[in-house]
Structure 1
Amino acid sequence: MMQNMTITEFLAQHLQGEHSAALTAMLSDIAHAVKQIAVVIDAGAIAGNMGSLATESVQGVNVHGEVQKTLDVLTNDIFVEAIQKSGYVAGMVSEEVVDPIKSMVKNGQYLLCFDPLDGSSNVNVNISVGTIFSVLKAPNSQPELADFLQAGTEQICGGYALYGTSTMLVFTTGDGVNGFTLDKKTNTFLLTHPQMQIPQNTTEFAINMSNYRFWQEPVQRYVDECLQGTEGERDKDFNMRWVASMVAEVHRILVRGGIFMYPSDAKARMGKLRLMYEANPMSFIVEQAGGGSSTGLQRVLEVSPTGIHQRVPIMLGSKNEIDRIASYHQKKSKRK
């Protein structure tokens, strides 16, 4: 059976073409990093990993002005070290570092963009967190900042790790989405979720309702329809979810459907989430699983990046719902 085969066996059977050797090696490095990160997260308060780094100074604040957790730095260091072992990565971009990270590899062929610990605000309350990554082709072996600014359509691989009730690694190379669960007895990732698919319709939505007063009219309209349930024009009841961890939200959508929204609003006109290492890889995964992803006015994967830490509004998940909310944005744009 294909299910429960090891990740090594899966990669050997399913990766073909010019990127097969490199992706196999890089994904093996990523799997190794995820195992290490899972151990560090599991140790939690026992190892003193749960606090924040910032005190009275600006130290411990990342490029986005966010207070770094101890685990943010630990997971970043683990990922940077592990991903260079294969010898294919020419340079990296991390949420936790201002400038691109130069690899020690001399002839790397690929670029890696990653968020080492998505949802880190949840670590102290023991809610699921994750790692997100995106692989791009390197134009040369000594990449400059501009080389990273590729649209999401150029991704070779996108994936995430989920550290929850079990540790999972989910990724796509453009041929469907597959999920692997870490067997802690053998320290091996096994294929447990082959060819994941998102239902086109759903009755679940995830959004931070505390921002309602700041949203644009299309988002308010969509959420109002969901809240009205069977008494409204949608004629069905919806459930609302919010974990404040993109990995956890997207994983739930992959398993049972739904949509996740972090739109632009009066507070964050450019959106909240980062394009290169959050929105792009997650949109790649969602589209490969039959879902949709939009800024409201365009496909996320077609956004032209202007900076490695660029923010972008995003709505992704069950395709029919994403198409509906995108149509509301487009109607408003036409009226203007």
Structure 2
Amino acid sequence: MTRTLRAAIALAGTAALSLGVVSTSGALQPGSAQSKAEEIRIGLLLPESKTTRYEKFDRPYIEQKIQELAPGAQIDYYNAAESATTQQQQVNTALAKGDKVLILDAVDAKSIQSSVQKAHDAGVKVVAYDRLAQGPVDAYVSYDNREVGRLQGTALLAALGDKAKSGDIVMHNGSPTDPNAAEFKAGAHSVLDGKVTIGKEYDTPNWDPNNANQQMSGAISALGKDKIVGVYSANDGLAAGISTALQAAGLKVPLTGQDAQLDAIQRILLGTQTITVQKPYKPEADIAATMAVDFAQGKSLPADLVPVTKTSGSGEKVPSNLLKPVVVNKDNIKDTVVKDGMYTVQEICTPAYAAACKQAGLT
């Protein structure tokens, strides 16, 4: 073999490897598992960052699981900052970039419908995350949101005890554009109706704690602080604003929440919030990531990944996975949020909460 021929063969081999062409030894080739993983492109669209969960838990957990299942996958991340219009634009951007699957937590489940339809028409799969968007969604993962409301209502009744009928409760149900809020509300009413008197009831656009604070202050003025015996808050963000208004009025009454935010756990230790509902983020994030990677790889979702069907606000029947929420109170902080790795005892028990932590048995 001449030197020229040997050089030509070597050059051809190098070119073949750079293109990912087969070798019988199992080298990278088009269509292999590794090349498919590298071709996976997933858009992750979260609704806002005021609620601490999204940046602290949801995003890193989802990204970590996608990379575990499909090393080299491209993840395009977007946060809508509570703007439905921004999120619609972000869907357009994700489609233009070539994302083949969208994990979507809708700011406004109804207004995003046209964007979901656009993705569907482009052959892009949509995994609804935490909130069930309208339109042709391909899969949905969340928690049993009516059960969240039932747990909150039951805990509020237990905390009220024989005072349940002695005055008014105030209800803060969350954002009217979030379909979960309607389910929390329905679950809570299923427990509370007929057992308490509801003096005031509010929706709070965009889950804004400042609006909740103003609403609570207005309720105290309208009803009289001595008439209010308890407050239903659909989540911890609202509870933060509500708690500030209650303290300003010198009121200490049972107060619910949801999401197990760090500040809520600390309020529970101090007694300014009664309970929160924990929805462990990692199982939810892992399921969403698994759904997205399966779709990106052209697979059908296995039955155990979508064991139930949920009907969206636009009437679509969506294969779904609904996880079980857990009530967190002063007595089980160590066995819930600490055990699940959400927070360490050190994160919770800063100097301002040291005495309360000791009393609760955390330190």
Larger Rg: 2
TM-score clears 0.5: no
- The TM-score normalised by the length of structure 1 is 0.25
- Name the structure with the higher strand share: 1
